């Protein structure tokens, strides 16, 4: 089932719509056409009680005022490009330093701030919403016109996100969704008691500016090693800036999503398994949330109020293709898929 309602009007006069996908599993998700933002994701706990498990804001004006990419489609390149510079086919490109000294999440006006065109498909068992956006040549300094489609599909108790893109010139592409999860329910406090598992042997380390260092290193316990399930609060003190890292699963994308991570909340019994065919995942602990934003529940989002599991390519692959070549060329189709599968289990 799909329902649609107005979500506000942009300063340009364009209308923003909110689509809600639901089915018989009691899982439902709301997505708005501005930024392709997941504004709500309701999931039942072990007792059948539903809660909204993604951080977000009340109303379009709050999103327009600025936020840390809550639930948004992020690109043309999600993550940091070192020094905002790269060379492609003999031509040098300089991008905005949106997180100095680096370029972050596609620029000053990335995909998270665009109005996407929506096409709903009201399938009773697996409703979906297809969003499209054409990024013109030169937008935010990137070469080539990039035609992008992102499809949200509620398949049983799984939220599937599929990405496709084509280009008329070679360009870097690295897309993700930037949802902040709190399986106890948004506004319920920190996620430090959540249990995290990530099936990755290596990360790409960063320096104090969170600049990616362009090399893989083995995960280390305690801290970056989540191959065995670990309480987040036990790992955070050992993480650089308590931030989280870019985890590497494979060198090239694969055809079908495979299990890469799990997040669970012992108190509610909610469990989220993460599947992807992409190469990496940026794991972010919500360290820089500082209480200045008030969420949908009317409560401030303090440090670690939510965490991110952003499946994507390696963002600085344009400078270090040996880790992951993120260049899309004419005639190719960028195809990635991430699934968040929900269940309930008392731990």
Domain count within the chain:
1
Across the range 251-273, mean pLDDT stands at: 97
- The pLDDT score that the predictor gives to residue 19 is 98
pLDDT in tens, 204-238: 999 999 999 999 999 999 999 999 999 999 999 99
What's this model's pTM, rounded to 2 decimal places? 0.97
- The pLDDT score that the predictor gives to residue 282 is 98
Range of the domain at 153: 2-344
Q: What is the CATH number of the domain that holds 273?
A: 2.70.98.10
Confidence of residue 346 (pLDDT cuts 50, 70, 90): confident
Give the chain's mean pLDDT. 97
Confidence of residue 347 (pLDDT cuts 50, 70, 90): low
Where in the sequence numbering do the catalytic residues fall? 178, 310
pLDDT in tens, 119-168: 999 987 899 999 999 999 999 999 999 999 999 999 999 999 999 999 99
SS (H, E, C) the chain: CEEEEEEEECCCCCEEEEEEEECCCCCEEEEECECCCEEEEEEECCCCCEEECECCCCCHHHHHCCCCCCCCEECCECCEEHHHEEEECCEEEECCCCECCEEECCCCCCHHHCECEEEEECCCCCCEEEEEEEECCCHHHCCCCEEEEEEEEEECCEEEEEEEEEECCCEECECEECCCECCCCCCCCCCCCCEEEECCCEEECECCCCCECCCCEECCCCCCCCCCCEEHHHHHHHCHHHCCCEEECCCCCCCCCEEEEEEECCCCCEEEEEEECCCEEEEECCCCCCCCCECCCCCECCCCCCEEEEEECCHHHHCCCCCCCCEECCCCCEEEEEEEEEEECCC
Across the range 91-116, mean pLDDT stands at: 97
- The pLDDT score that the predictor gives to residue 345 is 87
- The pLDDT score that the predictor gives to residue 312 is 98
For the chain, give the percent of residues with pLDDT over 90. Answer: 98
- The pLDDT score that the predictor gives to residue 89 is 96
């Amino acid at each position: 089932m799909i329902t649609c309602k107005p979500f506000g009007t942009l300063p340009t006069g364009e209308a923003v719509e909110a689509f809600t996908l639901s089915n018989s599993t009691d899982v439902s998700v709301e997505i708005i056409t501005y930024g392709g933002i997941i504004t709500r994701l309701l999931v039942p706990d072990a007792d059948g009680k539903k809660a909204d498990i993604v951080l977000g804001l009340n109303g379009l004006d709050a999103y327009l005022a600025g936020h840390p990419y809550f639930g948004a489609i992020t690109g043309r390149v999600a993550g940091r490009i070192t020094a905002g510079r790269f060379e492609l086919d003999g031509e040098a490109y300089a991008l905005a330093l949106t997180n100095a000294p680096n370029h972050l999440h596609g620029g000053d006006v990335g995909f998270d701030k665009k109005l996407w065109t929506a096409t709903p498909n009201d399938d009773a068992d697996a409703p979906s919403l297809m969003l499209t956006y054409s990024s013109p040549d030169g937008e935010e300094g990137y070469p080539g016109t990039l035609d992008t489609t992102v499809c949200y599909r509620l398949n049983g108790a799984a939220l599937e996100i599929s990405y496709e893109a084509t280009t008329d010139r070679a360009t870097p592409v690295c897309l993700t969704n930037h949802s902040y999860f709190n399986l106890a329910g948004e506004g319920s406090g920190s996620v430090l008691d959540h249990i995290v598992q990530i099936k990755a042997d290596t990360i790409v380390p960063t320096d104090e500016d969170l600049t990616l260092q362009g090399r893989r290193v083995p995960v280390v316990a305690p801290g970056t090693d989540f191959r065995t399930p670990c309480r987040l609060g036990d790992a955070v003190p050992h993480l650089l800036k308590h931030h989280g890292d870019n985890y590497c699963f494979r060198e090239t994308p694969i055809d079908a999503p495979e299990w890469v991570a799990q997040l669970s909340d012992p108190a509610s019994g909610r469990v989220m398994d993460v599947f992807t065919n992409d190469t990496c995942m940026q794991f972010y602990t919500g360290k820089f949330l500082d209480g200045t934003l008030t969420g949908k529940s009317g409560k401030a989002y303090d440090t670690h109020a939510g965490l991110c599991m952003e499946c994507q390519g390696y963002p600085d692959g344009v400078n270090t293709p040996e880790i992951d070549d993120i260049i899309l060329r004419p005639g190719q189709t960028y195809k990635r898929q991430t699934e968040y599968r929900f269940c309930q289990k008392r731990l």
